[in-house]
Amino acid sequence: MDDYSLADGFRAVARRMREAARQALAPWDVTPAQARALGTLLRAGPLRLGDLAEALRIAPRSATEVVDALEGRGLVERAPDPADRRATLVAPTPRGAEVGTAIRAARAAEAEGMFRDLSETDRAHLARILRTLAPP
| Residue of 31, 17, 40 whose CA lies nearest to 130 | 17
- What average pLDDT does this structure show over 114-126? 93
* pLDDT score at 85: 85
* pLDDT score at 4: 66
* pLDDT score at 77: 98
Whether 79 contacts 68, CB under 8 Å: no
Domain span including residue 124:
3-133
Whether 88 contacts 48, CB under 8 Å: yes
* pLDDT category of residue 5 using cuts at 50, 70 and 90: confident
Whether 42 contacts 54, CB under 8 Å: no
User: How many domains in the chain?
Assistant: 1
Helix H segments across 1-136?
3-25, 32-44, 49-56, 60-72, 94-115, 120-133
- What average pLDDT does this structure show over 56-79? 97
Q: What is the pLDDT of residues 23-58, one digit of tens each?
A: 989 999 999 999 999 999 999 999 999 999 999 999
* pLDDT category of residue 7 using cuts at 50, 70 and 90: confident
User: To the nearest 10°, the Cα dihedral for 95, 96, 98, 101?
Assistant: 180
User: Above pLDDT 70, what percent of the chain?
Assistant: 96
Q: How many residues does the chain have?
A: 136
CATH assignment at residue 44:
1.10.10.10
